[in-house]
Amino acid sequence: MKLELRGITKRFGDLVANDRIDLLVEPGRIHALLGENGAGKSTLMNVLYGLYTPDEGQILIDDTAVEFTGPGEAMAAGIGMVHQHFMLVPVFTVAENVVLGHEPAGPLGIINLSQARELVRSLSEKFGFDVDPDARVEDLPVGVQQRVEIIKALSRQAEVLILDEPTAVLTPQETDELMTIMRSLAEAGTAVVFITHKLREVQAVADEITVIRRGKVVATAEPTASQAELASLMVGRDVVLGVQKNPAEPNEHRLEVNGLTVLDAAGTKVVDDVSLTVRGGEVLAIAGVQGNGQSELAEAILGLREVGTGSVQLDGTELVGRSVRDVLGAGVGFVPEDRSKDGLISSFTILENFLLDQHDRPPYARGLALQLDHARAKAEEFAGAFDVRATSVDTLAGNLSGGNQQKVVLAREMSRSLRLLIASQPTRGLDVGSIEFVHRRIIEERDAGIPVLIVSTELDEVMGLADRIAVMYRGQVVGIVDADTDRDTLGMMMAGVTDDPGEEAGDD
Amino acid sequence: MTDTPQRPTETPTRPRITWDEIARSSALLTFLAILAALVISAILIVAADPQVRGSVSYFFERPGDTLGAAWSAVSGAYTSLFRGAIFDYEASGARTIRPITETMVAATPLLFAALGLGIGFRAGLFNIGAQGQVLMGGAMAAWIGFALELPIVLHVIVALLGAAVVGGLWAAIAGVLKARTGANEVIVTIMLNWIATWLITWLLTTSILARAPNRPISPEVDPSARLPLMLGSQFRLHWGFVLALLAAVGVWWLMERSTIGFKFRAVGANMDAARTAGINVNLVFVMVMVTAGLLAGLGGAAQILGADHTLRASSAGSIGFDAITVALLGRNRPAGIVGASVLFGALRAGSPLMQTASQTPIDIVLVIQAVIVLFIAAPPLVRTMFHLPGRPGSRRAVEVAS
């Protein structure tokens, strides 16, 4: 089945999310849709999937124009979509999830589960999925859950399969496995649309590349194009890939975490006996797949989570048991991983967000009175220094782009003299330009001689920023290695596998 | 391969309408809601009018009779409401301005209580407990007023302070329970209202609050404990109204210019970010409730020391519940609450004259109030009725596009 988009235009008010986009997806090919966050990739796919109605343009299947009013019609026409966030029922089995919505029913409307199991088994064998139809989805690793989504689409005779940022939640190994699956799907004649902003993956798997920027197709490229070329197409200017930095010059300041254990509400150990040291003037990056205790470790250091056992000492001062306010007061800067939830108040102005953690300390407060004039001067100074693009500091934070929001958070945290910087996912969801900027500021803090702790699930970021890398798996540090360790080794460690007998391994 | 199933970290949050969001809708919507309420009430006034109903039977022969009767019913009701609440042009001398002073008297306790509620709503706390806090504060003020003998000036100050403290403590129960155990403040404050009502009802049968057995009413407060009158003995207007206006200024400063208000607003707008920034959210819950209770307690004191002078179980009337509406109508901002409390005070002060002068049932005022609430709480409804565009900036176009 050949799918063609002609002149698709979609507007939201004044914003043109898709501007006369043409796209041709052919059977047996992997078509990568490359673009930054907000470029309009997802909007385009939602148009294709019947979630949005295009303002202009046509969708053609095998040269016949079609119109979808909802995902049901798109699915019936042979279009399948695997969303970034899975649409699975966690307590159902794989087979139950796959047939959900079009259950094969016997007499009296009883679901024929053995038929469903057979369906999963045959698709699984055909493409080498290795999925047990009777496993409960919540017990499966993320990579396998994703395969369940793919099986779900294929079981509905999808001939065009859209994968929306499929690698965002995967380990490097799982990513490789997914790419193998994409290959075998293409060989079987499926047209695959692969939406991503990761250049490496595009190069590895795509047959064709369409680059989208600000709602427009700016180029089509061959997979042989270099990463630098693709990046500049995507951003619209030359960009520096990787992080420019000098070797670390560690000093005597240090953060020492010793035997730290954190329990979640259910009593499970989310951080399990973690010990690590970060010296002043170096970046220690914590690598790991999302959900292996890294975020909880950072939150525990800040005092947001209650610590079970263990200690956290900053230059010899114990931080465990102190309030968040005290820890911040001790000179800890914290960039939370979810800026819109934990980092900013979207209905507050830039000025108010700038004040958020310092509003009751001098010089921003005198007694109970806020010193707004002083605060405004400082906020304007830092908004300028951090290149926050807004008409004034009275702009609501919610009206800023992700990159500008993150700059507001960084400006706030770096506006006071720090003795430790903790940044969780500092560039998540940012465009390439903002990533460059954020990385540079983090390295500047390091060069000022303070310890810097980075938590990131992006391996490229970890390898670019870090002087040393600690890998976490299931709440434990499986190893601390040098920054020049190769990707494969790190990937194995992130999956809990380690062949270094000296290191503590994951418990399976 | 990891075995831990992961939840997506950026699950799209469902749109959740909070009271503060409702309150943030534009002043135009507020105005339209009031207008719509007056129009709908006019229809009810027409329907309830005996002359209109009498003339409807021959509507097709002489429609003018019905329409004329309808017009006179509505205009009669609303002009008498105006005369009762603002300015009585049919009276003579000083009595022409008596209605507006009565409006201010009625507005005073509402203003105090609604200021406190507005703080709570902006901090994300749905405090339904003003009724109990008003009653407890009023009872304390009454007790200090009749049971203690203190010099003039000092007596009224002590009575006001006592009421504020008791109101604050009463509200603090809900705050502490929420901070310590996570107990829902809506349920706790509703229950505290009942506890306060029955506690005062019982105390009024004992010698603590009542002097005569079988008469559930307290003695009159001493003249030294009363809020002094502003315009002489012809009018009931007392200095409590000015205190309430000063309280509005104080609340504005607290919320917009002080570190405490900054914390309150931060917790209300995004509790997670506030916590991450080192704000003690649990302490804020308690402080917000205490502040709200303190103001509600003063409202009760103003009612007893300024207007009623004696305490009954029904002294709080429906002040605590009307104040919720006033806070919403005033969009939780002090200036808006001043306006809204005067409007509600006017409805309350004007309704008796409307009943006697134009035979319009007094309940129509409750309908007006209820319809205003209905429209304020449902901005999309008003927008649809008046063909207004959706609220700009409610959803960022960038987000939709990404």
pLDDT digits (tens, 9 = 90+) for A469-489: 999 999 999 999 999 898 889
Q: B340 lies in which domain range? A: 103-194+220-385
Mean pLDDT on B118-135: 95
Q: Give pLDDT, residue A471.
A: 95
User: In the structure, what pLDDT confidence band is assigned to residue B391 with cuts at 50, 70 and 90?
Assistant: low
From B384's Cα to the closest Cα of chain A, the distance in A is: 19
Q: Which of A204-218, A471-485, B11-25 has the lowest mean pLDDT?
A: B11-25
From B274's Cα to the closest Cα of chain A, the distance in A is: 7
Give the highest mean pLDDT range of A111-125, A286-300, A378-392, B100-114.
B100-114
User: In the structure, what pLDDT confidence band is assigned to residue A173 with cuts at 50, 70 and 90?
Assistant: confident
Q: Which residues 355-384 in chain A show a CB within 8 A of chain B? A: 355-357, 359-360, 365, 368-370, 372
Reduced to 3 states, what is the DSSP secondary structure of residue B54? helix
Chains A & B: contacts with CB separation below 8 Å: 144
Q: A336 touching B, CB under 8 A?
A: yes
Q: Give pLDDT, residue B15.
A: 42
Mutate to test the interface with B, among A347, A409, A492 (most CBs of B within 10 A): A347
Q: Which residues 176-235 in chain A show a CB within 8 A of chain B? A: 215
Q: A292 touching B, CB under 8 A?
A: yes
Chain A residues with CB under 8 Å of B255 CB are none
User: In the structure, what pLDDT confidence band is assigned to residue A231 with cuts at 50, 70 and 90?
Assistant: confident
Q: Alpha-carbon distance A53 to A59, whole Å?
A: 11
Q: Give pLDDT, residue A201.
A: 87
Q: Under an 8 A CB cutoff, do A86 and B8 touch? A: yes
Q: Give pLDDT, residue B2.
A: 38
Q: A13 touching B, CB under 8 A?
A: yes
Asked whether residue B361 is assigned to any structural domain, the reply reads yes
Q: Give pLDDT, residue A86.
A: 85
Mean pLDDT on B194-218: 89
* Helices of type H across B240-280: 240-257, 259-269, 271-276
Complex-level ipTM: 0.83
- Look at B178 and A172; give whichever has higher pLDDT: B178
Q: Say whether pLDDT at B398 is over 50.
A: no
Q: Which domains does chain A have, with CATH numbers?
A: 3-235 (3.40.50.300), 254-494 (3.40.50.300)
Q: Say whether pLDDT at B378 is over 80.
A: no
Chain B residues with CB under 8 Å of A215 CB are 401
Nearest chain A alpha carbon to B273: A342
What total number of domains does chain B contain?
1
Q: Under an 8 A CB cutoff, do B2 and A325 touch? A: no
Q: Under an 8 A CB cutoff, do B2 and A304 touch? A: no
Handedness of CA B115, B120, B128, B380 (dihedral sign): positive
- Look at B142 and A500; give whichever has higher pLDDT: B142
What is the C-alpha R_g of chain B?
A: 24
Q: B16 touching A, CB under 8 A?
A: no
pLDDT digits (tens, 9 = 90+) for B245-303: 999 999 999 999 999 999 999 999 999 999 999 999 999 999 999 999 999 999 999 99
Chain A residues with CB under 8 Å of B23 CB are none
User: In the structure, what pLDDT confidence band is assigned to residue B25 with cuts at 50, 70 and 90?
Assistant: low
Q: Say whether pLDDT at B92 is over 90.
A: no
Mean pLDDT on A109-125: 87
Asked whether residue B75 is assigned to any structural domain, the reply reads no
Chain B residues with CB under 8 Å of A266 CB are none
Calculate the alpha carbon distances from A172 to A149, A193, A481 in Å: 19, 20, 17
Asked whether residue B45 is assigned to any structural domain, the reply reads no
Asked whether residue B292 is assigned to any structural domain, the reply reads yes
Give the highest mean pLDDT range of A96-110, A380-394, B363-377.
A380-394
Q: Say whether pLDDT at B7 is over 70.
A: no
Q: Alpha-carbon distance B261 to B252, whole Å?
A: 9
pLDDT digits (tens, 9 = 90+) for B152-184: 899 999 999 999 999 999 999 999 999 999 999
The mean pLDDT value of chain A amounts to 89
Q: Give pLDDT, residue B111.
A: 98
Chain B residues with CB under 8 Å of A291 CB are 2, 4, 6-7
Mean pLDDT on A165-185: 85
Kindly give the interhelix angle for B98-122 and B130-147, rounded to the nearest 10 degrees. Answer: 120
Q: A486 touching B, CB under 8 A?
A: no
pLDDT digits (tens, 9 = 90+) for B289-311: 999 999 999 999 999 999 999 99
pLDDT digits (tens, 9 = 90+) for A408-455: 999 999 998 899 999 999 988 777 778 888 999 999 999 999 999 999
Chain B residues with CB under 8 Å of A495 CB are 1-2
Q: Give pLDDT, residue A214.
A: 85
CATH of the domain at B340: 1.10.3470
Q: B1 touching A, CB under 8 A?
A: yes
Asked whether residue B163 is assigned to any structural domain, the reply reads yes
Q: Give pLDDT, residue B3.
A: 39
Asked whether residue B239 is assigned to any structural domain, the reply reads yes
Q: Alpha-carbon distance B400 to A35, whole Å?
A: 16
Q: Say whether pLDDT at A344 is over 70.
A: yes
Mean pLDDT on A103-124: 85
Q: Give pLDDT, residue B8.
A: 36
Q: Say whether pLDDT at A122 is over 80.
A: yes
Give the per-residue SS3 of A22-36: EEEECCCCEEEEECC
Q: Give pLDDT, residue B1.
A: 37
Q: Alpha-carbon distance B13 to B19, whole Å?
A: 17
Asked whether residue B141 is assigned to any structural domain, the reply reads yes
From A105's Cα to the closest Cα of chain B, the distance in A is: 30
> From the list A324, A345, A360, which residue is nearest B259 (CB)?
A360
The type of residue at B50 is: P
Q: Which residues of A173-199 are buried (b: 16+ CB within 10 A; e: fewer)?
A: bbbbbbbebbeebbeeebbbbbbbbbb
Q: Give pLDDT, residue B170.
A: 97
Q: Give pLDDT, residue A248.
A: 87
Q: Say whether pLDDT at B399 is over 50.
A: no
Q: Say whether pLDDT at B4 is over 60.
A: no
Asked whether residue B215 is assigned to any structural domain, the reply reads no
